Structure 1
């Protein structure tokens, strides 16, 4: 299954890990994903910018 493109306002890594089962397939049961833990501790390094919604 192909992962849809990251929508505006979302973090690409969070989006991929939430919608692509293969991202965590290598983990054992109840094992934390090191990338996700780092993300929770240090925050999002990049957010896809939203497009301007103003009419002016």
Structure 2
């Protein structure tokens, strides 16, 4: 799959792990990804900022 840039409002790690098969290639079947587990417990360290709305 071609690399796509993380869209605004999304976490780069979540986005990569959801859309890039290489992120979990090293895991055995039914094995949890340590990075994803840590991410679920501790939350998102960084979210790509959204552009300011110019509606008003």
Give yes or no for the alignment of 1:9 onto 2:6.
no
C-alpha RMSD over aligned residues: 1.0
Alignment coverage as a number of residue pairs: 56
For residues 27 and 48 of structure 1, the distance between their equivalents in structure 2, rounded to whole angstroms, comes to 27
- For normalisation by structure 1, the TM-score amounts to 0.93
> Structure 1: 5+ residue runs without aligned partners?
none
Q: Tell which deviates more after alignment, 1-10 or 29-38.
A: 1-10
- For normalisation by structure 2, the TM-score amounts to 0.93
> Structure 2: 5+ residue runs without aligned partners?
none
Find runs of 4+ consecutive structure 1 residues off by over 6 angstroms: none
